[in-house]
Structure 1
Amino acid sequence: MNAFNRLADLLRDRGEPTRYQGGAMRTRGICHDGDDPGTVAFRPGNNGSLVVFCHKCQGNADFLAALGWTEADLYDEPLAERERPTDDLWIPCGKHGHKRVAQYVYRDEHGAVVHGVTRCDHKDFSQWRPDPSTRSGRRWSLNDPSGKRLVRSVPYRLPELLAAKQADRVVWICEGEKDVHALVDHGLPATCNAAGAGKWTAEHASYFEGADVTVVADRDVKGRDHATAVVDSLRGIARSVYVVQARTGKDAYDHFAAGHKDAEFVQVWAPIPYPGNSEAAA
């Protein structure tokens, strides 16, 4: 499929409006949360390429970043080997031969990419942020040279989290992305923060106003401390908070791998009982 059709299909699948006008297909500026469906124009270019231009941003870098695309995605066919962006399986572990085995993309309320986390086959993790100016389309740091953070701290799977809250479903918080996917695979809305235990912030907690929350605490000291920090941050924000642990193993992934169901997690703490539930004790 050529690049033009790939982009048109992607926008359609995301529910973004498109229209043909002035020799180009047009859509809204998701790069700046614009409402005008004519702000961004795209059309087939020369040599199997796609031309994309946002009239507000005066370029395409922010639009591509919002899609999770790089310049390489603007071509119908893969670039020649010498021109191809850095191997997407590569991860900057600092150790020779490590390869990426998982990638977790953190998105904002509108589905735009905020940053990502990669995991290698030796359980090393590296974080990146979109940067279309690089050959790989990403920069392997969330901070500037002075250490100032350049991207927001958002919970993993934020759009799904907000949809679950809107539907009045319980949102599960665990310690890592692998556990999140174990819960999601069993039909449960789930999230976490990037970088594991000890990295949860008030910024993460702010998205849970009025939500019912179940926290899955890992069975170790760090897991207990992390769960306590999450609970403390949700006081006065969430409607209810319950803390559970895996019936078997350390975490949610182990729990399901052992064949248990979601109803079989062990409740260990009810710091913010659901309103009207007099049997739950903190």
Structure 2
Amino acid sequence: MSIAFNRLADALRDRGVPTRYQGGALRAQGICHDGDAPDTVAIRRGNNGGVVIFCHKCQGNADFLAALGWTEADLYDEPLPERERPADDAWIPCQQRGHERVAQYTYRDAKGRVVHGVTRCDHKCFAQWRPDASTRSGRRWSLNDQQGNRLVPTVPYRLPEVLKAIAEDRVIWIAEGEKDVHALVHHGLQATCNAAGAGKWTEEHAQFLRGADITIVADRDIPGRRHAEHVVETLRGLAHSVYVVQSKTGKDAADHFAAGHTDSEFLKVWAPVPYPGDEAATA
């Protein structure tokens, strides 16, 4: 077994590069040029345990390695030295399409250990990753295995800070995304969200908020409303109280504060305390 070969196959899969096995080799699309042929690059296991790469259009492997962000040293099974790894923001999966990183969100467990992260680009791509010391970047750009099974725990954003705030009887605000969470935190509030936006909140997220007083900021669109309703349902029997509010101006918490409003000026749209029924009080 070649560790380097498997590492390369994983890297190509994580980047969405089409591959297929043919004639004893892994055939890949030429990310080193603009051609769309799916098998211009041949990748084989070498006799020394490494990897041999040859692009039939480029007549070599230098351009392919450069496009991947690898060096010749990465074609061998030895662990990648730390000095060979790029900085956290040196590469993101959509960089090949000209996108640039604009934000980095790290999800941690109750003890502050990194569980996974989300990298946002200037085209609003949200790439999720998990720590993996065997890769060049120290990351694997997927939270699942090849069968689609999740490999990392499900935790809400800023979990250590949220747990501390609950212990101090502070209100926990739940937004739809990390940008809105930071807008709330910037204004002195304790806030959290789930990764991947609307519709991705689960009962696993809710379990961390047992006994808390919650305010949910619902985005002003149909997905935002449905997301808020789902979050409320998962908190039934867990949270001490739940309010749902919306921005006074714009779509979300970031828009609300950008317009100069304060946290007391959010519009209350639902306020069961605690859960007297399913009727919604609108403001």
Query: TM-score band, normalised by the shorter chain?
Result: 0.5 to 0.7
Q: Matches of 2:90 and 2:240 in 1, distance apart?
A: 41
Question: Structure 1 residue 169 and structure 2 residue 170: aligned?
Answer: yes
Cα displacement string for residues 48-70 of structure 1 (whole angstroms, at most 9, x for unaligned residues): xxxxxxxxxxxxxxxxxxxxxx9
In structure 2, C-alpha distance between the alignment counterparts of 1:174 and 1:167, rounded to whole Å: 20
For 2:231, what is the secondary structure of its paired residue?
Answer: helix
Measured after TM superposition, the shift of residue 272 of structure 1 is 3.5
Q: Please say if 1:230 is aligned against 2:248.
A: no
1:6-41 Cα deviation digits (max 9, x unpaired): xxxxxxxxxxxxxxxxxxxxxxxxxxxxxxxxxxxx
Corresponding residue number in structure 1 for 2:161:
160
Q: CA deviation at 1:90?
A: 2.2
- Match of residue 129 from structure 1: 130
SS for the counterpart of 1:146 is: coil
The one-letter code sitting in structure 2 at the alignment partner of 1:248 is T
CA distance in 1, matches of 2:154, 2:81: 26
Which stretches in structure 1 are left out of the alignment for 5+ residues?
A: 1-69, 73-78
1:113 Cα offset (Å) = 0.1
* Secondary structure at the counterpart of residue 123 of structure 2: coil
**Is the Cα–Cα contact under 8 Å of residues 194 and 205 in structure 2 kept in the other structure?**
yes
1:219 aligned residue: 220
Mapped partners of 1:87, 1:242: distance in 2 = 37
Q: Percent identity?
A: 72
Structure 1 residue aligned with 2:260? 259
1:267 positional shift: 0.4
- 8 A contact 1:117–1:128 mirrored in 2: yes
Contact 1:89 1:101 (C-alpha < 8 Å) held by counterparts: no
The equivalent residue for 1:113 is 114
Q: CA deviation at 1:135?
A: 1.2
Which has the larger displacement, 94-103 or 172-181?
94-103
Whether the aligned pair in 2 keeps the contact of 1:235 and 1:272 (CA below 8 Å) is no
Shift of residue 96 of structure 1?
Answer: 1.6
Residue 210 of structure 1 is matched in structure 2 by 211
* Aligned 8 A contact 1:117 1:126 in 2: yes
Q: Does the 8 Å CA contact 1:171/1:213 hold for their aligned counterparts?
A: yes
Deviation at 1:274, TM superposition (A): 8.9
The two structures have a TM-score, normalised by structure 1, of 0.67
Normalization by structure 2: what TM-score?
A: 0.67
Q: Tell me the CA shift for residue 236 of structure 1.
A: 0.4
Question: 1:117-141: CA deviations, max 9, x gaps?
Answer: 0000111110000001111000000
User: Following the alignment from structure 2 to structure 1, what is the Cα–Cα distance between the partners of residues 235 and 150?
Assistant: 23
| Secondary structure of residue in 2 paired with 1:196 | coil
Cα–Cα, structure 1 residues 168 and 87, in superposed 2: closer, same or farther, change >3 Å? closer
In 2, are the aligned partners of 1:273 and 1:281 still within 8 Å (CA)? Answer: no
**Residue of structure 1 equivalent to 2:240:** 239
Whether the aligned pair in 2 keeps the contact of 1:110 and 1:159 (CA below 8 Å) is: yes
| 1: CA distance, partners of 2:133 / 2:85 | 14
Which secondary structure does the structure 1 equivalent of 2:238 belong to?
A: coil
> Paired residue for 2:270?
269
CA-to-partner distance for each residue in 1:126-166, whole Å, 9 max, x for gaps?
00000011110000000001100000110000000000000
Read off the aligned partner of 2:147 and give its amino acid letter.
S
Change (3 A) 1:150 1:84: closer
The alpha-carbon deviation at position 269 of structure 1 amounts to: 0.3
Deviation at 1:273?
3.9
Residue in 1 aligned with 2:60?
none
The offset of 1:86, in angstroms, is: 6.4
Number of equivalent positions: 200
Alignment of 1:1-282 (within 5 A): 72=82, 79=83, 83-85=84-86, 88-93=89-94, 95-273=96-274
Taking structure 1 as reference, are residues 171 and 181 closer, same or farther at Cα in structure 2, changes over 3 Å only? same
Quick one: distance in 2 between partners of 1:134 and 1:98?
Answer: 21
CA distance in 2, matches of 1:85, 1:189: 33
Deviations 1:47-100 (A, max 9, x none): xxxxxxxxxxxxxxxxxxxxxxx963xxxxxx3xxx343662422127521111
Given the superposition, is the C-alpha separation of residues 132 and 186 from structure 1 closer, same or farther in structure 2, using an over 3 Å criterion? Answer: same
What letter corresponds to residue 92 of structure 2 in structure 1? I
User: Amino acid of the residue matched to residue 126 of structure 1?
Assistant: A
Q: What letter matches 1:172 in structure 2?
A: W
